[in-house]
Chain A
Amino acid sequence: MADINIIEEQLHGHDHHDDGHDHHDDHHGDKYQSSLVDSYLFSMDHKNIAKQFLITGMFWAVIGSAMSILFRLQLGFPDADLSWLQPLLGGWIEINEQGQGVLAQDFYYALVTMHGTIIVFFVLTAGLSGTFSNLLIPLQIGARDMASPLMNMLSYWFFFLAGVVLFISLFLNTGPFSGGWTAYPPLSELPQASDGSKAGATMWLLSLVFFVVSVLLGGINYITTVLNMRTKGMSLFRMPLTIWAFLVTAILGLLSFPVIASGFFMVLFDRSLGTSFFLNEIFVAGEALTDRVGGSSLLYQHLFWFLGHPEVYIIILPAMGIVSEVLSVHSRKPIFGYKAMVFSILAIGVLSFLVWAHHMYMSGVNPFISNIFVLFTLIIAVPSAVKVFNWIATIWGGNLRFNSASLFSIGFVSMFISGGLTGIFLGNSVVDIQQHDTYFVVAHFHVVMGVAAFFGMFAGVYHWFPRMFGRFMNETLGKIHFWGTMISAYLVFGPMHYLGMAGVPRRYYSFEYFENFSQFDAMNAFITIAAILGFLFQVVFIVNFFYSIYRGRKQTDMNPWGATTLEWTAPINAGHGNWPGEIPEVHRWPYDLSRYEDEEFVMQTVPLKEGEVDGGH
C-alpha cells in the first residue's frame, strides 16, 4: 500500500492539487530513494529503469549473438572439432566415431530458437524501446516521471522474470525450446515431437507470457505519459519524432501483444489440458494421435503473426525515431518534412496490422486472400520511402558531424534501404513461392530489422550516453565499432541473399547430403568468419560502454550536442524529478537548428520572437 501512496504523492506533485495532507517537495529529488536498493535495484526513477533495461538488454544481446556464432560454426565449419567447447556446453557437444566434437542436432535447433526469441523480444523490444522510451519520454515531453512509476518498475521486473525463466530453461536436461521463435504447433505442443518440446517449451511459453505483461505495463505507461503529462506548450506537433515513434510503438504493442497472449494460452491448454485448438490429424513416429483432432494449426499462425508483424514495427519504429533525432542534431539542420515523418509513422502503424498474412503465403492460406496482403505490404513501402527520403534530405547540405552516433544513424539508413528493397521481393506472394524459407528471407529480415534496429540502438546509446551517465563514450572506439560492425554486417548478410537466390533453405543443420547446396560450403565459411568478426567488434562496444561509465570524459556542458530538446535542459546527473526547479515550458517545435543567422540553434524553451512562425506548423 505504501507504494501506491508514493505514486499518489508523486502524481500530486505533478498536478499540484492538494487534498489536505502534505506531500514531499519534488524539487529536491526523491526522498524515497534513500538506500542503495531503492535507488539502483527497485528504482522507480524512469532514468534508472532505462539503464536497467539497457544493461539487461546488453546481457541478452551477448548471449543471443554468442548463440548465433555457435550455430554459424556448425554451418561454416561442419568438420571442425568443437570438443574444446565441451566444458561450456557439456552434452550438447557430441563426440562422433572419428573422435570429433560436433554440435548436437537438437541443440542446433535450440540455439536458432533461442537466438530469435532473445534478440527479437529481449533485446530489440525490451532493450530498445524499454530503454529509450523510459529515458526520453519524460525528459523530452517535460514530465517529472512516468504516469505510474510503480507500473514502470513492474514492467522492468516482469521483463527480468521472463529472462530468468528463459535462462533457467537453457539448463534443462532436455534442453531449451527448439521449435523456432514462432513456436508453431504442433512442434510447440507435443512433448513427443522433440526434446525441446518438453519442459523447455512450457518454460518458453511462461517466459513469453511474463514478457507480454511487461510490454503491456510499459506500453500503457508510455501512452498515458505522452498523452497526459506533457509540459505546458508541448502540443503534439511540437513533440520530437522520438516521442512520436515511442507513442505509436506502444500503441502497436498494446493492441498486438494481448492477441499473442491468447494464442499462448491456447497452446498451454493444448499442452496441459488435452484440448486440440491447434492439433489435427497428427502422426508422431508412425503413431496417430486419435484423441487430438479438430484443431487448426493455421489459426495459431494467424494469431501469432497478428502480433508478429506489428512486432517488427515495434522494433524498427523506435530506431527510426532515434535516427531522425540524431541525424537532425548532428547535421545541424531541421528534420526534413517533420509532418510527413509523423504521418508516415502513423501510416506504418496502421498498415502494420493489415499485412500479417504475408508471413503465411506458403502456409496454405487462400491465394486470393494473399493478393490483398501483397497490396498492403507493398503500400508500406510508401511511408517507408518517405522516411528514407526525408533522412537523406536532412543530411543533404547539412553541417555534418561524423561522430559515432551520426555514423550509426547513417548506417541505419543504409541498412534500412538494403533490407527494405529485398522486402519488396518477398512481399510478392508469387516471388515468395521461390524464396520463402531460404537464406534470402534470413538476409532480408536480419538487415532490415536486426542490424538496422541495432544501429538505431547504438546511435541512441552514443548520443544519449551523457544524458544517462554524465560522461561521454570514447569516440575512437566508437568509430572502430561502427566501421567494424557496418562492414562485417554486410559481409555476413550480403552473401546470404545469393545463397537464398540459389535456393539454399534456412534452418538446415547440415548441407552434407545435398549436392546443390553443399557447393556453397566456402561461402558459408566466409559468412561465419565475418559473423565472428562482427561479434568481436561488439566487444569493443561493451568495453567502451562500461569503461566510459566510470572513466569516460566528463560532461561539462549541459547541452553538449547543441540540441533543442528538453532533455538537455535538465542538469547533468539529474535526480528523480528531472528538473530542480519548475518544469520548463515549451514555445516552439524541436528542430530550430541553423534557422537563424545569429543563432546556430534555438531551444524549445525559448519563446517565439515577434512575428516568428513556429517551424512545425
Chain B
Amino acid sequence: MNNVMASRKVRKIHPKKFALWAGLVSIVMMFTALTSAYIVRRAGGAWYEFDLPDMFIWSTIAIILSSTALHISYKSYVGEQHKKFKRLLFLGCFLGLAFIVFQYLGWQDLLAQDITINRNPSSSFLYLITGLHVLHVVGGIGALGIVVIYARRKKHQVVTESRKLRLELVFTYWHFVDILWIYLFIFFLVQQ
C-alpha cells in the first residue's frame, strides 16, 4: 500500500502546473469558438478574400525562434549555466517583442490595402483573432519580464525546485502562445 502511494506521489503533477494547463484549456476553448465561428460565417458567403500580410511569416519565424531560445535557456538554467540562461532569456524576450512588432506591421500592411476592421467579417475576424492572440502574448511578455527581473539577481543563480517550477510555468505558457499562433496562422492559410 505504501509503495503504491509513493509511486503515485512521483507521478503527481504539481498543482500549479495543473492549474496552468486547465487555464490553457480555457484559452483553447475561446480560440476554438472564434475559429469555428469563422468557418461557419465564411460558409455563409459574402466573404471578402484577401492575402495574409507577408509580415505574418516573419512574426511566425520570430516566435518559433523565441520559443526555441527560451527552451534552451531553461535547459541551461537546470544545467546551472547561468550566463547562457540569461543570454538566451533576453534573446527570447527580444524575439517575443519582435513578434508583436511584426504583427503590428502586418496590420499596417492590411490597412494600407484598405482592409479595415469593419470592411467585411473576413477582416473583422482576422483583426479580432490576431488581436486577442497578441493580448495573450503581451501577458506572456509580462510574465517573462518578471523572470528577467529575477534572473538579474545573484541569489537566483542557486537552482531550486520552486524556481525551476516558476520558470517552467512561464515558459510553458510561452510555448503555448507560440503553438497557438502556429495553429492560427495555418488555419488562416488553409482557409484562404
Contacts and interface: CB of A to CB of B under 8 A. Distances in A.
Contacts of B32: 259
B30 A258 contact: yes
B23 A220 contact: yes
Contact of B18 (A8, A227, A302): A227
A553 interface: no
Interface in A188-242: 216, 219-221, 223-225, 227-229, 232
Interface string A288-313: 00010111100100110010000000
A299 B27 contact: no
Given A147-B16, A148-B16, A302-B40, A276 B22 contact: no
Contacts, number: 110
Given A263-B33, A299-B37, A258 B121 contact: no
Interface in B12-36: 12-16, 18-19, 22-23, 25-27, 29-34
Most chain A CB inside 10 Å of its own CB: which residue of B15, B32, B46: B15
Contacts of A20: 160
B161 interface: yes
Interface stretch (A177-185, A265-273, A318-326, A591-599): A265-273
Contacts of B30: 258-259, 261-262
A266 B26 CA distance: 17
A295 B5 CA distance: 56
A274 interface: yes
Interface string A104-140: 0000000000000000000000000000000000000
Contacts of B118: 273-276, 291
B29 A259 contact: yes
A216 B128 contact: no
A254 B23 CA distance: 8
Contact of A254 (B25, B33, B128): B25
A147 B29 contact: no
B41 interface: yes
B191 interface: no
A12 B22 CA distance: 21
B68 interface: no
Interface residues of A, number: 46
A224 B33 CA distance: 24
Given A8-B162, A148-B16, A262-B30, A275 B41 contact: no
B105 to A, nearest CB: 20
Contact of B121 (A151, A294, A303): A294
Contacts of B41: 277, 295-296, 299
B173 to A, nearest CB: 13
A224 B19 contact: yes
Contact of B128 (A8, A259, A269, A293): A269
Contacts of B138: none
Contact of A216 (B16, B26, B121): B26
A110 to B, nearest CB: 29
A384 B41 CA distance: 35
Interface of B: 5, 12-16, 18-19, 22-23, 25-27, 29-34, 37, 40-41, 44, 46, 117-118, 120-121, 124-125, 128, 132, 160-162
Given A228-B15, A256-B29, A259-B33, 19 more contacts: A12-B162, A17-B161, A148-B16, A216-B23, A224-B19, A232-B5, A254-B26, A255-B25, A257-B26, A258-B26, A259-B32, A266-B37, A269-B117, A273-B118, A275-B124, A277-B125, A296-B44, A299-B40, A302-B37
Interface of A: 8, 11-12, 17, 19-20, 147-148, 151, 216, 219-221, 223-225, 227-229, 232, 254-259, 261-263, 265-266, 269, 273-277, 291, 293-296, 299, 302-303, 306
